[in-house]
Structure 1
Amino acid sequence: MSPHPSSAPLRTAVVGTGGIARSSHLPALQELAGEGRVEIVAAVDVDADAARAFADSAGIPYAGTDLDGMLDQLRPDLVVLCTPPAVHREQSVAALRAGAWVWCEKPPSPSLADHDAVTAEEKGDDAGPYASIVFQHRFGSGARHVRRLLQEGAFGRPLVAHCQTTWYRDQAYYAVPWRGRWATEGGGPAMGHGIHQTDLLLDLMGEWSEVRGMAARLVHDVETEDVSTAQVRFASGAVATVVNSVLSPDEVSRIRIDCERATVELTHLYGYRNADWRITPAPGVPAEAVEEWSNFGTDEPSSHLAQLRSLVDDITAGRRHPTSGPGGRRTLEFITALYKSAFTDTPVRAGEIGPGDPYYTELHGGAPDWAPAGLGTPATPGKEEHA
């Protein structure tokens, strides 16, 4: 398929008009609409009143509840999915079959099987249409600067890393029916919260080769875990730890990478600016090198806007976006491997999980004490479970 004509705005439909659509996607789309790069043509939601209110608030001409009907009638260029994970596969496939690119909120889909079914609809054309995932932390100016320095070897070899998403979610958060359930949320904090920091870690560190995981359900009465940890080995030989929690009153998101010539650290909560990055040189590193490392350039915060701008650039240029295809699958495969390792008490290697593996189709893998009622016996809150 040819790339979208660069002179024409991408006709864009928003599917799901809840909180994330209002707070993050709509402002980003409106910014690019003001630049003539997108045109918001439709709002779709299972709640007709919600769809109409969203459309009216933003001057969107079409509002409805029927995704297939909208796709057939309007044939949008881009479909932005802000819906719960359980419907991402079905909606992504429908949009791709209608000839639209897809930008899908996280978690992208509840299993690797679902993700592969979506990418199978792309027919292997890097120019698109294809489905991409909202992994906005890759796209801030800080990540771009540090990624370039790492790839150029400016810091020397990465040796040790730490990735931390320690947040706090109370019982009211889990009162929303689809949260905390494998079938509808896909997983706990490893999937639904820490996925952004994990994705950025993998983007900066390169291919992972092995993970050893641990998971627990310590407080919340849910199917999924509420805390997980992992030890990771990368193809480069570097090692890392990953911690995901929704039990942590002192909330923070952090990545730290110790290299031969410097330590790189990012500390923030839900999004970063250049000032949230710190580079500490090893003894003996020349001052001019440190000065170059410290020049992050124009500050572009990590955000939906930053990624959307990059996505539109890629669509109009006929390029594959970095969070589509294999670039998005790597993160989902890592999280799947973390769960499999935690629930089987064994290390899991990259490429190990495929068709025929129970973790390929369900992140709980049917494991005792973790599978939903009827497939296993739920664990007792407060009791740590490894397998």
Structure 2
Amino acid sequence: MSSPTRTPASPPPAPLRTAVVGTGGIARSSHLPALRTLAEEGATELVAAVDLDAASAASFAAEAGIAHSSTDLEATLAAVRPDLVVLSTPPAVHRAQAIAALRAGAWVWCEKPPCPSLADLDAITAAEPGGERDPYLSIVFQHRFGSAARHVRRLLREGAFGRPLVAHCQTTWYRDTAYYAAPWRGRWATEGGGPAMGHGIHQTDLLLDLLGPWEEVRGMAGRLVHDVETEDVSTALVRFADGALATVVNSVLSPDEVSRIRIDCALATIEVTHLYGYRNADWRITPAPGVPEETVAAWRDFGPDEPSSHLAQLRALTTDILAGRRHPTSGEGARRTLEFVTALYKSAFTGDAVRAGEIAPGDPYYTALHGGAPGWAPAEAGENAA
């Protein structure tokens, strides 16, 4: 059964009729509370729940007060015709599901990892109608949308802190053997990658959002503890287009878990330390000697506290859709982060520095993050690459 084709001439009116696809843990813990809040604000209306597990879809629908639950996405798209489709499914199915939703005339908000390769993401983008007010895919990168990140991003863009010089981006978490007992974890085809892709991508995305275009990455990766296909730790050295240098560390081997970004600029050091989400109080700005106290006070005034969260981003996304404009984590705003992660893997597995824009169709890393590299690619992928 093929999805109906519907391309709106203008943005839909509020509330956005929303379908949730994938009714597991993240949908229940993060997406549903955000959608309920926005429903109370008049921005969204939950109209469908879809999952391959009929019982899971039905229980989610009952919990959310939704009349329609199904195991068939395309039938749901045809019957319910939602304005917005929220994908909280594994990355391996994001390409097919996103394209089906776009062809049905729906905007798509997709959980990270976006999809297993740049080729998949480009295929999704190619399925977008392309008009300024037409549906598009956006990715769940909620750390861009807390009040503190918005404040710091504006000050960086204005040059208030002076030139960015040195940065550190750290996602050092802990995942035990039991975590990898789930058969889809630790596998390229189903989890989409190791900590560089599945865990640290949020901090990486925030770093890129704050510092702007990256120019070159030199990476290393290791499989030090877990018996998996992917890495369990990675590091990278990064040069940004403006000359700033950064380190990026992603790990699932670290008992003292922390997520941290630090940016040293000419006039100040900006740092955020948290785990899975931040508030204003998690940010610290340290001025260089000689900066006037009134300037420092203005820097430290983050305004009303809006934590980084699915709610913060979804509120911004629905506002953008209703206004007929592109959301920041759509199009190139989504691709640059996946391109960086892909470049980190390519550099780690080849031993070569990788420059922005280098990975294109024909490059083995364009279609698979492991690139067919010996010792990293699944056996069947390595045979095909050979």
State the AA in 2 paired with 1:367. Answer: A
Residue of 290, 295, 320 corresponding to 1:284: 290
> 1:265 maps to what in 2?
271
What is the CA distance between 1:104 and its match in structure 2?
0.2
What code does the residue aligned with 2:94 have?
H
User: Which residue of the other structure, out of 354, 357, 367, is the alignment partner of 1:351?
Assistant: 357
1:293 to 299, 305, 319: 299
Q: Describe the SS at the equivalent of 2:173.
A: strand
Question: Relative to 1, partners in 2 of residues 1:201 and 1:52: Cα closer, same or farther, differing over 3 Å?
Answer: same
Q: 1:4 aligns with which of 1, 11, 15?
A: 11
Residue 2 of structure 1, CA deviation: 3.7
User: Cα gap change, 1:5/1:334 in structure 2, threshold over 3 Å: closer, same or farther?
Assistant: same
Q: Deviations over 1:247-295 (max 9, x none)?
A: 0000000000000000000000000000000000000001110010010
The worse-fitting range, judged by mean Cα deviation, of 366-375 and 95-104 is 366-375
Work out the CA distance in 2 between the residues paired with 1:265 and 1:21. 30
Match of 1:193 in 2: 199
Q: Does 1:142 align with 2:154?
A: no
8 Å contact from structure 1 (residues 128, 320) kept in 2: no
| Deviation string, structure 1 residues 185-241 (Cα, Å, up to 9, x no partner) | 111000000000000000000000000000000000000000000000000000000
Select 2:228's aligned residue among 222, 228, 233. Answer: 222
Q: CA RMSD in A?
A: 0.9
Out of 70, 86, 90, the position equivalent to 1:84 is 90
1:311 is matched with: 317
Output the CA distance in 1 between the equivalents of 2:60 and 2:12.
Answer: 28
- Structure 1 CA distance for aligned equivalents of residues 56 and 301 of structure 2: 45
> What's the CA shift string for 1:118-154, capped at 9, x where partnerless?
0001132232200000000000000000000000000
Q: State the shift of 1:58 in Å.
A: 1.2
Aligned identity (percent) is: 79
One-letter code of the match for 2:289? P
- After superposition, the C-alpha distances for 1:160-195 in whole angstroms (9 at most, x for unaligned) are 000000000011111112111111111100000000
What residue in structure 2 maps to residue 177 of structure 1?
183
Matched, 1:158 2:167: no
Shift of 1:306: 0.1
Could you say what secondary structure the match of 2:327 adopts? coil
Q: Which of residues 115, 123, 126 in structure 1 aligns to 2:121?
A: 115
The residue type paired with residue 123 of structure 1 is P
Deviation at 1:328, TM superposition (A): 0.3
Secondary structure (helix, strand or coil) at the match of 2:221 reads: strand
Which amino acid in the other structure matches residue 19 of structure 1?
G
Q: Distance in 1 between matches of 2:12 and 2:119?
A: 33
1:13 equivalent among 12, 15, 19: 19
1:342 pairs with 345, 348, 373, which one?
Answer: 348
Question: In structure 2, what is the equivalent of residue 382 of structure 1?
Answer: none
Indicate the SS of the match to 1:340.
helix
Distance of 1:214 and 1:268 partners within structure 2: 25
TM-score by length of 2: 0.96
- What secondary structure does 2:381 align onto? coil
1:375 is paired with a residue of what secondary structure? helix
Q: Deviations over 1:63-87 (max 9, x none)?
A: 0100000001111000000000000
Q: Find the aligned partners of 2:171 and 2:270 in 1 and give their Cα distance.
A: 17
Instruction: Check conservation: 1:3, 1:315, Cα contact below 8 A.
Output: no
In the alignment, the residues of structure 2 paired with residue 204 and residue 184 of structure 1 have an alpha-carbon distance, to the nearest angstrom, of 30
Displacement, 1:35?
1.1
Give the match for residue 93 of structure 1: 99
| TM-score normalised per structure 1 | 0.96
How far 1:319 sits from its partner (Å)?
0.5
Instruction: Give the secondary structure class of the aligned counterpart of 2:226.
Output: coil
For 2:98 and 2:56, the matched residues in 1 are separated by 21
Determine which of 13, 32, 37 is the counterpart of 1:26. 32
Picking from 55, 71, 79, the partner of 1:73 is 79
> Partner of 2:380: helix, strand, or coil?
coil
Residues 195, 233 of structure 2: 8 Å contact kept = yes
Match of 2:37, SS? helix
**Structure 2 CA distance for aligned equivalents of residues 313 and 359 of structure 1:** 35
Aligned partner letter, 1:4: P
Cα distance in 1 for residues equivalent to 2:43 and 2:11 = 11
Equivalent pairs, count: 376
Say which of 234, 240, 247 aligns to 1:241: 247
Residue 360 (structure 2) pairs with residue 330 (structure 1): no
Would the alpha carbon gap of residues 368 and 107 (structure 1) be closer, same or farther in structure 2, given more than 3 Å must change? Answer: same
What is the distance in 2 between the residues matched to 1:376 and 1:225? 16
Are 2:12 and 2:83, in contact at CA under 8 Å, matched by a contact in 1?
no
Q: Secondary structure at the match of 2:264?
A: strand
Kept in 1: contact 2:174–2:252 (CA 8 A): yes
State the 1:375 CA deviation.
3.4
